[in-house]
Amino acid sequence: MLTLEQINVLKEDTTAFGKSLRDAYHQYKGGIVDETDYEQAQITLNNTMAQLKQANENIIPQYAVLKRLMGFPPEKQFNVVFDTLEMMKSIHIDTTEQLQFEKRIEFQEINTSKDLQTQLVNYYRYSFIPTVSAFYNYNLSFQNSNFGSLFGSSYPSSLVGLSITVPIFTGFSRINNLHKARLQQQILNWDQTDLKSQIYSQYTSALANYKGNYYNLQVLQRNVALSRRVYFVVTLQYRQGIVPYLNVITAESNLITSEINYLNALFQVLSNKIDLEKAMGNISY
């Protein structure tokens, strides 16, 4: 998108520089200025056209990379459509919103691991508790001295009992497992503390970058308006023979630089906004 917008800027500049070239040519033919003004205008236009040609060529491999990332068939074509005005509206974010660690997916994962580890610790800890169980057995015995009447009569019997199992010695396996589970639980607590530090560091860095580049964007936006105004005034002054063509070249160069810098700053702020939303856990995966 940045390259496409730069192409639009260069197209506008090429049109403006072509008009300046025609003005310089007519003034040269009229004897108002010397030949160098016309030649300087031609050089400026040629440089801009070369930049436009290079930008148009650069967009081809960028589309190829985008197709690969999207899984789009290479032989098919599509166009990226965007609106810089809508992009300007979407750069704003509430910088007063407090950081909530629970929104981060990494924090949720480590909380789940802690819950599972707590259950494992409880499992090994409760294994030392004696086990009490009750049982009831009921049997039928068939007995007879005559084989043909073996199932003719039965003698029922029943048994009710209570069993208590006390784990006295288990080869230290349960103690070692419990100790290992508690150490793993402590490691998870340290990992969670370290993760909070990482998240906070990412948040503060993203917030600082967003605020700094947002201010820079506002400054560059004013610079674009001033550069256009200066270019318009200097062009009128040159046509009236008040200033030399060198002033026009300087104004044109400042205009191109301010417009390109503004576009770079706009896309940088959008990138910083995404980084800030990611750090705050506001992006859904």
Question: Which structural domain range is residue 136 located in?
Answer: 131-165
- CA-CA-CA-CA torsion sign (237, 239, 241, 246): positive
- 171-199 residue pLDDT tens: 677 788 888 889 999 999 999 999 999 99
The reply to whether 119 and 257 lie within a common domain is yes
The reply to whether 183 and 159 lie within a common domain is no
The reply to whether 69 and 140 lie within a common domain is no
Structural domain includes residue 259: yes
pLDDT band of 205, cuts 50, 70, 90? very high
Q: Provide the number of structural domains found in the chain.
A: 3
The reply to whether 211 and 276 lie within a common domain is yes
Q: Which of 40, 59, 63 is nearest to 51 (CA)?
A: 59
Structural domain includes residue 120: yes
Structural domain includes residue 89: no
Structural domain includes residue 88: no
Structural domain includes residue 251: yes
Joined together, the tokens standing for residue 42 give 């031609």
Mean pLDDT, the chain, whole residue set: 82
Structural domain includes residue 87: no
Residue pair 118/110 in contact by the 8 Å Cβ criterion: no
The reply to whether 280 and 232 lie within a common domain is yes
Q: Is 24 exposed, middle or buried (0-12, 13-18, 19+ CB in 10 A)?
A: buried
Structural domain includes residue 254: yes
Is residue 7 scored above 90 in pLDDT?
no
Query: First and final CA of the chain: distance in angstroms?
Result: 24
The reply to whether 106 and 207 lie within a common domain is yes
Residue-level pLDDT at 63: 77
The reply to whether 154 and 220 lie within a common domain is no
Is residue 15 scored above 90 in pLDDT?
no
Look-up of token digits 């025609």 = 22
The reply to whether 104 and 222 lie within a common domain is yes
The reply to whether 103 and 11 lie within a common domain is no
DSSP class per residue in 229-257: HHHHHHHHHHHTTSS-HHHHHHHHHHHHH
The CB density around residue 277, as the number of other CB atoms within 10 Å, is: 14
Domain harbouring 100, CATH code: 1.20.1600.10
- 112-125 residue pLDDT tens: 999 999 998 888 88
